[in-house]
Amino acid sequence: MGMLVKLRVALAAKPPVLYVVVVLLLPCLTLGAGAIVPIPPLKPVDSITAEKIRLGRSLFEERLLSRDNSVSCSSCHDLSGAGVDHKPRSIGINGAVGDINAPTVFNATFNFRQFWNGRAKTLEAQIDGPVQNPKEMGSSWNEVVRKLKAIQTYQDRFRKIYPDGVTPENVKDAIATFERQLVTPDSRFDEFLSGKSALDELAKKGYENFKSFGCISCHQGVNVGGNMYQTMGVMGNYFKDRGTPITEADLGRFAVTKREADKYVFRVPSLRNVELTAPYFHDGSASTLEDAVRVMAKYQLGRQISDREIDSVVAFLKTLTGKAPAVLENSRTTAGAKAQ
């Protein structure tokens, strides 16, 4: 709680004392100064759900979902990598450069909202975004349904699960059902939390720092993030210091609510598998974890931290790399290789 008191004092000059109380203090009070919990085991699935998962995976890797049949969900969310594209901003059809960095689809099911600005409530609703975004897949549901219906095997696979066959709702249901399997359990940190193994000295120190610095007041819960909105630049003007023009994407939740207070507010990202998902931040501006941690300490906590402290926090963050999703067991992923 020491850090919160300090934050309140530091911000007393600005209006957001109430903001600090509501946004930083409340989550701490309700969740005990922030806690991280292990990924729960997946529930066994019935045979219809298993079919949906297989169909969902096919659709996730299906280029017909894009206007010129060139891009699939997996083009930007590489399933054999860590569910990202490793680009500062994604590239869609016709080489269009997107507006924002692609977050991973791994463990997205645990985020309380989808997208950096939280504009989609569910994984299903999220899918309307990429399919229709002119800088991503640039298609429409009519077109997608027409193209899928033209393929007999898709017709058959949909009918087996859904009486009404190929519809936008069913495409979304299948993909989201697949995405809910994309969880990466049994990270070294989860094993530590459940008492199965210890952390090495540096990672242990890093976890202590992560708590005492106050990182955990924003990055917490099952996804070590993904359960609240926060301003980027609580303790300093990140965007001014970045030196490049402010984009629409930088405005964060403001795009959704149009409320001044929501400018530069983002859903806090998950830190699971973060060692594998560079570059970092919504603008892809940090290319290493060390950079990202330094920026966070400065702009979110008003702290200058030493290289040694950064190394410890990075060592801790690396313990958040989990096992590859079991549903992908046929294809070995980096996440899996790391965890073994």
CA distance 24 to 26: 6
Point out which span in 27-35, 40-48, 162-170, 213-221 binds ligand HEC (CB under 6 A): 213-221
CA distance 50 to 33: 39
Nearest residue (CB) to ligand HEC, 96 versus 326: 96
Instruction: Give least dist CB 240 to ligand HEC, A.
Output: 14
Strands (E), the chain: 229-231, 265-267
CA distance 60 to 74: 6
Nearest residue (CB) to ligand HEC, 196 versus 236: 236
Q: Does 28 bind ligand HEC (CB under 6 A)?
A: no
Q: Does 78 bind ligand HEC (CB under 6 A)?
A: no
Q: Does 234 bind ligand HEC (CB under 6 A)?
A: yes
Q: Does 280 bind ligand HEC (CB under 6 A)?
A: yes
Check 51, 61, 62, 136 and give the catalytic one: 136
CA distance 8 to 17: 6
Q: Does 215 bind ligand HEC (CB under 6 A)?
A: yes
Point out which span in 36-44, 186-194, 292-300, 322-330 binds ligand HEC (CB under 6 A): 292-300
Residue 97, classed as helix, strand or coil, is strand
Nearest residue (CB) to ligand HEC, 99 versus 195: 99
Q: Give the list of residues 6+ apart from residue 318 with CB closer than 8 angstroms, or none.
A: 203, 275, 289
Give, for 15, the enclosing helix (H) or strand (E).
none
Please, what is the Cα angle at 336 between 269 and 311, to 5 degrees? Answer: 55
Q: Does 230 bind ligand HEC (CB under 6 A)?
A: yes
Q: Does 292 bind ligand HEC (CB under 6 A)?
A: yes
Annotated catalytic, 136?
yes
Q: Give the list of residues 6+ apart from residue 269 with CB closer than 8 angstroms, or none.
A: 103, 116, 225, 226
Phi first, then psi: what are they for 279, rounded to 5°?
Answer: -75, 170
Among 139, 170, 181, 217, binds ligand HEC (CB under 6 A): 217
CA distance 172 to 177: 8
| Spatial CA neighbour of 144 closest among 124, 165, 166 | 166
Q: Give the list of residues 6+ apart from residue 20 with CB closer than 8 angstroms, or none.
A: 4, 7, 8, 11
Contacts with ligand HEC in 171-200 (CB under 6 A)?
175
Instruction: Give least dist CB 75 to ligand HEC, A.
Output: 5
User: Following CA atoms 287, 289, 293, 296 in sequence, which dihedral angle do they give, to the nearest 10 degrees?
Assistant: 40
Q: Does 166 bind ligand HEC (CB under 6 A)?
A: no
Q: Does 269 bind ligand HEC (CB under 6 A)?
A: yes
Point out which span in 29-37, 39-47, 65-73, 326-334 binds ligand HEC (CB under 6 A): 65-73
| Spatial CA neighbour of 284 closest among 86, 97, 93 | 86
Point out which span in 44-52, 145-153, 197-205, 297-305 binds ligand HEC (CB under 6 A): 297-305
CA distance 81 to 87: 13
Among 76, 82, 276, 327, binds ligand HEC (CB under 6 A): 76
Instruction: Give least dist CB 146 to ligand HEC, A.
Output: 16
Contacts with ligand HEC in 99-158 (CB under 6 A)?
100, 102-103, 105, 108, 111, 114-116, 123, 126-127, 130-131, 136-137
| Residues involved in catalysis | 136
- Contacts to ligand HEC by CB under 6 A: 60, 65, 71, 73, 75-77, 90, 92, 98, 100, 102-103, 105, 108, 111, 114-116, 123, 126-127, 130-131, 136-137, 175, 213-215, 217-219, 230, 232, 234, 266, 268-269, 271, 274, 277, 280-282, 292-293, 296-297, 300-301, 313
